[in-house]
Amino acid sequence: MSVRVRFAPSPTGFVHIGSLRTALYNYLFAKQNNGKYIIRVEDTDQTRLVEDAVEGMIRSMEWAGILHDEGPFIENHKIVQKGEYGPYIQSERLSIYSKYVDQLIDSGNAYYCFCSRERLDDLRETQRSRGETSRYDGHCRNLDINEAKKRVEEGEEHVVRLKLPENKDITFEDVVRGTVTFNTSDLDDQVLIKTDGYPTYHFAVIIDDHLMEITHIIRGEEWLSSTPKHVNLYEAFGWEAPKYVHLPNILNSEKKKLSKRQGDVAVEDFNRKGYLPEALVNYITLLGWSPDDEREIFNMSELIEHFHLERVSKSGGVFDVQKLNWMNNHYIKEADDDRLTQLAMKYVIGSGIINDEDEKNKYDWVKSIVVLVKEKLDYMMQITQYVQEFINDEIEVLEDEAKEMIAMEHVKVLLTEFDARLKDLEKFDAESIKQVIKSLQKDLGIKGKNLFMPIRVGVTGTVHGSDLVETIKILGKEKTSKRLNSIIIKL
């Protein structure tokens, strides 16, 4: 049987960085084995649905380059489903689940439960007060089936629960964790069908995975304790269970599960800031998986070649924003300048530095700044602060070191002469600007730090920055002169 894997998100909001990694690992494993990677939307919890969450998830995956073979797609601004195993949205599969829950009830592997919400709340409160784990007490477990069906036919509110065998060890193999065993005494008779008629995750996932011929379940470790219930359901139906792979959590700096409270955790957050998708994909792959050498930089094709589930760690990887920034900076430095400029224009226009009408005329100017400063960028949104530095005609000197530099006796003559010689240039290019600086060194007898630092302060207001000659060229003759004179008149 060929490999078939799935990513099955709930449309309840943003795409968490951990979900992106789960999807990525499924994708890499499928492509490495010439298999199929499927997206299935698990929307059975109708109370938590978020509008447009499915569209947002699909777009995030497309942005990251994690492209599915079957499932929902966006075409002409509408969701369409493609594949031979659909529907791929669970709320459209309710009639399918109904058939299988009846089979479970008739075989004695599930039962109707009529316990009220009030009774269950009281039960949980009592268990908490005793320091016990909250779990269903089996009150309806042994109801006469005919009596129970009659109550259902009369319209009495109910759920359907899984009937786990008592005091039985359930063992399964996990690719990451090896042999895992749970005893049913520590588990709950999970609800399979809710009062609204919708299946819970624990029931729908089994039916869907079986009917869609999923061969490997690659998901987060939070589902590990649920797996014995799923294994029990497979046995109840007489089906072969897929292979299980439970991934470690992505952790924050305190070694706790990464959450929104610690800052950016949504794929959309990183996209919005201008992280390159290949950098984010490269980085999160390494959070829980290690290659067989010390290498850190991989493109998608290389990840498909080198990724192996057997090298997934049991322990969680710490999400380090500084490390991500380092990796993203690497990709920015290697990226095509036009691609970066197109990204930069979005932020420059969005921040109001230039308007839409100026986009075409200002493209080359913004590109020159991108080329100048891209080695300093952690993510592309930061380009606005650098572009802003080229806007003003006048500058202020605020740094103490810069103030000391232009307070030197020779600086007024140096800047005045520099301004005059720049104005005389017929061609305002890098080579011509360099020649002006060389001529000042020769004619005024000033060199090194005493030459370059005052000029930089006179042009930018700071003692440190990007290449001086390129900075002056981008500023242009007129703006450079205005800046120099805003300093000279104060000396």
The residues carrying an active-site annotation are 260
d(CA 282, CA 303): 8
369/390 Cα distance (integer angstroms): 9
Amino acid of residue 57: M
Cα 249 from Cα 351, distance rounded (Å): 36
> Across-strand partners of 111?
161
Q: Which pair of structure tokens corresponds to residue 432? A: 């011509």
Q: What is the DSSP letter of 71?
A: E
> What 8-state DSSP symbol labels residue 110?
E
Residues 6+ apart with CB under 8 A from 135: 127, 187, 188
CB of 156 closer than 8 Å to CB of 112 = no
Integer Cα distance of 294 and 335 in angstroms: 23
Q: Which two tokens stand for residue 260?
A: 């929104």
Q: Is the peptide bond before 87 cis (omega within 30 degrees of 0)?
A: yes
Distance CA 469, CA 430 (A): 6
Q: How far apart are CA 163 and CA 184, in angstroms?
A: 10
Tokens of 60: 């995030």
Q: What pairing do the DSSP bridges indicate for beta strands 4-7 and 36-39?
A: parallel
**H or E segment at 487?**
helix 468-488
Residues 6+ apart with CB under 8 A from 88: 38, 39, 40, 41, 70, 71, 72, 81
SS3 245: strand
How far, CA to CA in Å, does 396 sit from each of 403, 408, 468, 473? 10, 17, 18, 20
Q: Which residues of 189-206 are buried (b: 16+ CB within 10 A; e: fewer)?
A: bbbbbbeeebbbbbbbbb
